[in-house]
Each structure stands twice: as C-alpha cells, then as structure tokens.
Amino acid sequence: MIAVISADLLSSSSYPKELLEKTITTLNKEFRELERLTKPNSEFKIYRGDSFQGIVYSPEEALLFALRIKTAINRLHLNDSESNKAFKRVADLRLAIGIGTYDFQRDSILESNGQAFQFSGRTLDEIKKENRKLKLKTPSDNINEEFDTSFLLFDTISDKWSTASAEVIYYLLKGFKETEIATELGISQSAVNQRKKAAGWDAIDVLLQRYRNVINEHFSNGK
C-alpha cells in the first residue's frame, strides 16, 4: 500500500507573477526536503504549472506531508520587509490523499497508475465541487467517514489562519520547539505560543496522531 497526494493551487490564475514564482519555488524546495524522509524517497512532480502529485511510500506519514506542503504555501506573502507580521493568506491548496495499491509503475509518476492514484485523483475532482480543501480516500468506508469529518473541521480551523499562524504550524510540523521557532522568526517565545494556540495546534497534533495510528494499523507494512 502507498499514499498518493494530488493537489492544485487555488485560483492560481489570479496570482501575480512574483507570487506564482515564489509558490513554485517553495513547492520544489519542500518536495526535496520531504523526499529525504521516507524510503524509498517520495516522488513529487509539478504539472500544468499549478498542480502536483506525489507518492508517499509510508502512508501513515501522508497527512504530515500534506500539511507541511499546505503550510509552506499558506505562510507565503509579498511583504518581505515585514516578514514577522500577520498578513491575510494569498496562496492556498486543495489536497487529496489516496491510499491503496500501486498496480502500474513507470519511471515517471505521471505515467504510473493504481488504486491509490485513482482514489487521489478522483477525490481531488470531488473536493473541487464540494468546496473542500483536504480529503482522504482509502479502501475502508469506515476510515473514510471518520476522516471526512475530521478533515472538514481542519478546513474550518485552517481557513482562519493568517500567514503568521501558518508559519508557526509549519515549523511545528517540522518538529521545531517553541524556542527554536522564536529564534528562526526573530520573535519571542510567548508570541510563538500565542500564534500556536490561535492556529489550533493542539487539535491538529491530535488529528495527526490519530491519522498515523489508524493508517499504520490498517494499511502499513504491506497490509
């Protein structure tokens, strides 16, 4: 079993050139970092200029990967002279995670196929119509139903983020401690803690752990 993440940028046609360039550069940088976290290395490819797809060979890590990519994009802004302030988000993603078999493997991920690819691609099409931003599809209806509700709640929380909130969540997802984030951003630890609480980190952390446990139990190690 593998996980496939399919995604596209929301309203990318309205992005100014500078923002689109920053977004694509950020995606490629994040892909390189994530590819080193699992064996075999995860594969992510951008296509059509505003969409991407990638394989996560450890499906229990797929939600973490998806949220790292999301927050890396959500924290972007064009106000570089005031990088520590909170701004309205100007870039966002739709993300679909599909977990299933890998039935047709080619050198390019864009030519590969299988249950996981079909689940991911079709689910991305679904959430475009449903005005959702994150959804999971697996062979288990019970698991799909559980995380359909959880991910809808996550959408509600993350839609309220500023760029500053997303940035703190991004570093927390990378395993940074509050003091390390404070140093990285040049702000106080108390400011980091306030942003962490405002962004709903405790609930997100519980969601990540629940996802990891459920997926590990049902779909990891060849199950």
Q: What is the DSSP letter of 139?
A: S
**Residue in this structure with the two tokens 């039935």, named with its chain if needed:** 103
pLDDT tens-digit map of 75-133: 998 876 566 677 888 899 999 999 998 765 555 555 566 889 899 999 999 998 898 99
Question: Would you identify the CATH topology of the domain 2-219?
Answer: Alpha-Beta Plaits (3.30.70)
**Residue in this structure with the two tokens 């060849």, named with its chain if needed:** 222
Are residues 168 and 196 in contact, defined by beta-carbon separation less than 8 angstroms? yes
* Mode of pairing for the β-strands spanning 2-9 and 51-56: antiparallel
pLDDT tens-digit map of 30-80: 999 888 887 666 678 888 888 999 999 899 999 999 999 999 999 998 876
Task: Provide the β-strand partners of residue 95.
Answer: 7, 134
Sign of the C-alpha dihedral, residues 154, 36, 8, 74? Answer: positive
**DSSP one-letter string for 155-177:** HHHHTT--HHHHHHHHHHHTT--
C-alpha atoms less than 13 angstroms from C-alpha of 57 in its C-beta half-sphere: 11
Under 8 Å CB-to-CB from 144, ≥6 apart: which residues?
136, 137, 138
Rounded to two decimals, the pTM is: 0.90
What is the domain partition of the chain in residue ranges?
2-219
Under 8 Å CB-to-CB from 149, ≥6 apart: which residues?
none
